[in-house]
């Protein structure tokens, strides 16, 4: 029986909690994975803790109806995230706070605290992994706990596991991918003759893009993701501040039309490759021939191609965002903990 705490109850945290609630019996019957949610801490919605387990269905109902969880009757309320993480009975910390790729906080503190106190960590938070992967990996190994971050790259599509586990034994020469659904949607629509400004506005209305779309359109989101792939999958030592980054704001309809006439498509590509024994990475728009599998990935879908010495090119395509897809990634990490420990 695993005792789990959830740090952050936003869209992804709620999605993961709903999966754990709805699939509790299936996960127990099929995989022998049994668990209790003993605590949930959210800066806005409240902090609740009961070592005997929370009624997750009631908490989710309260969250949906009131947008807060502080009214839930339980033993302890108002614990800080660190206080909750360090509770001795906690086994797994699901860290789902907002990503900050400049400082990694507050996630980085949560990660370090959990690992130092011998707690397994599962997360979709890109910041800590993009900035401090090797330090966190070493901390997890030292304390004999698991660091799961499958959902940091293309959400529930298993990119990390494919690269680190399923392609084990292969030399991964390079990785390239469409790592941001918002920009892929914009570029796809621009092929229909629509302006960047028009499509961006539509993407914001549909919820694909934030009110401030900088992280997507200027390439900061795929930057964090390609750094994670470069370091975690390819064994690199890439510093996020040293990676060349170029977004799509400079792409015009003329550029898209020219590429089309040449039998190509413009995609925002994150790329990492080995050169003279060193891993290098970049993010920039590229004109790909239509024979390239990535050129045919349209709309909000994401995709990654692993170039290997044994199996050749291996491409994986799937949704790169969403409450349930990202939440599902953390559940798969929890199942990996159950298999290994």
- Written as six digits, the tokens of 320 are 């790169």
Q: What is the pLDDT of residue 75?
A: 87
Within this chain, domains 2-156+323-340 and 162-318 share the same CATH topology: no
Band of pLDDT at residue 12, cut at 50, 70 and 90: very high
Q: Which of 225, 264, 267, 274 is catalytic?
A: 225
pLDDT in tens, 283-312: 999 999 999 999 999 999 999 999 999 999
pLDDT surpasses 90 at 211 = no
| Terminal alpha carbon distance of the chain | 12
Count of C-beta atoms within a 10 Å radius of residue 111: 28
Question: What does the pLDDT read at residue 165?
Answer: 92
- Residue 307 has, within 13 A of its CA and on its CB side, a CA count of 13
Alpha helices (runs of H) in the chain, residue ranges in sequence order: 11-22, 24-31, 56-66, 81-85, 107-116, 126-142, 151-154, 159-161, 181-190, 196-205, 214-217, 220-228, 253-261, 323-340
The residue extents of the domains of the chain are 2-156+323-340, 162-318
Contact yes or no for 235/242 (Cβ under 8 A): no
Which of 95-99, 209-213, 261-265, 312-316 has the least mean pLDDT? 209-213
At residue 209, the pLDDT reads 85
User: What is the distance between the alpha carbons of residues 228 and 315, in angstroms, rounded to a whole number?
Assistant: 18
Active site residue 118: no
Q: Which fold has domain 2-156+323-340?
A: Rossmann fold (3.40.50)
Predicted local distance difference test score (pLDDT) of residue 43: 95
Residue 309: Cβ within 10 Å count: 10
Structure tokens at 164: 């680190």
Are 220 and 284 in contact, with CB atoms under 8 Å apart? no
Percentage of the residues of the chain whose pLDDT score is greater than 90: 94
pLDDT, tens digit, 9 for 90 and up, residues 222-260: 999 999 999 999 999 999 999 999 999 999 999 999 999
Each residue of 73-86: pLDDT tens digit? 998 999 999 999 99
Report pLDDT for 322.
82
- Cα torsion 136, 161, 292, 170: sign: positive
| Residue 246 host element (H or E) | none
Write out pLDDT tens, residues 132-188. Answer: 999 999 999 999 999 999 999 998 899 999 999 999 999 999 999 999 999 999 999
Mean pLDDT, to the nearest integer, of 259-264?
97
**Domain 162-318, what fold?**
Dihydrodipicolinate Reductase; domain 2 (3.30.360)
> What integer pLDDT is reported at residue 16 of this predicted model?
97
d(CA 262, CA 288): 10
**Tens digit of pLDDT for each residue in 45-68?**
999 999 999 999 999 999 999 999
């Amino acid at each position: 029986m695993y005792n789990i705490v959830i740090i952050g109850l936003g869209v992804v945290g709620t999605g993961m909690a709903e999966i754990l609630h709805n699939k509790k019996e299936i996960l127990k019957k099929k995989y022998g994975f049994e668990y209790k949610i003993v605590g949930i801490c959210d800066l806005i919605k409240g902090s609740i803790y009961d070592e005997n387990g929370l009624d997750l269905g009631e908490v989710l109902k309260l969250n949906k109806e009131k947008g807060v969880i502080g009214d839930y009757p339980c033993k302890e309320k108002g614990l800080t995230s660190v206080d909750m993480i360090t509770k001795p009975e906690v086994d797994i910390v699901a860290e789902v706070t907002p990503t900050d790729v400049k400082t990694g906080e507050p996630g980085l503190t949560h990660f370090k605290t959990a690992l130092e106190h011998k707690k397994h960590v599962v997360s979709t938070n890109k910041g800590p992994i993009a900035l401090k992967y090797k330090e966190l990996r070493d901390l997890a190994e030292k304390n004999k706990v698991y660091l799961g971050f499958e959902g940091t790259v293309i959400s529930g599509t298993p990119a990390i596991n494919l690269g680190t586990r399923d392609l084990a034994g292969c030399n991964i020469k390079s990785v390239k991918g469409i790592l941001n659904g918002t920009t892929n949607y914009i570029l796809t629509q621009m092929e229909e003759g629509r302006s960047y400004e028009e499509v961006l506005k539509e993407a914001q209305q549909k919820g694909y893009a934030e009110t401030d779309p900088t992280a997507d359109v200027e390439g900061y989101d795929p930057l964090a993701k390609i750094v994670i792939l470069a370091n975690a999958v390819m064994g690199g030592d890439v510093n996020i501040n040293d990676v060349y980054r170029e977004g799509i704001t400079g792409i015009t309809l003329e550029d898209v039309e020219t590429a089309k006439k040449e039998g190509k498509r413009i995609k925002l590509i994150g790329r990492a490759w080995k050169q003279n024994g060193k891993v290098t990475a970049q993010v920039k728009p590229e004109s790909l021939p239509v024979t390239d599998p990535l050129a045919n990935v349209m709309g909000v879908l994401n995709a990654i191609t692993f170039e290997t010495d044994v199996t050749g090119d291996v491409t994986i395509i799937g949704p790169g965002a969403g409450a349930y897809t990202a939440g599902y990634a953390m559940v798969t990490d929890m199942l990996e903990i159950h298999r290994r420990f």
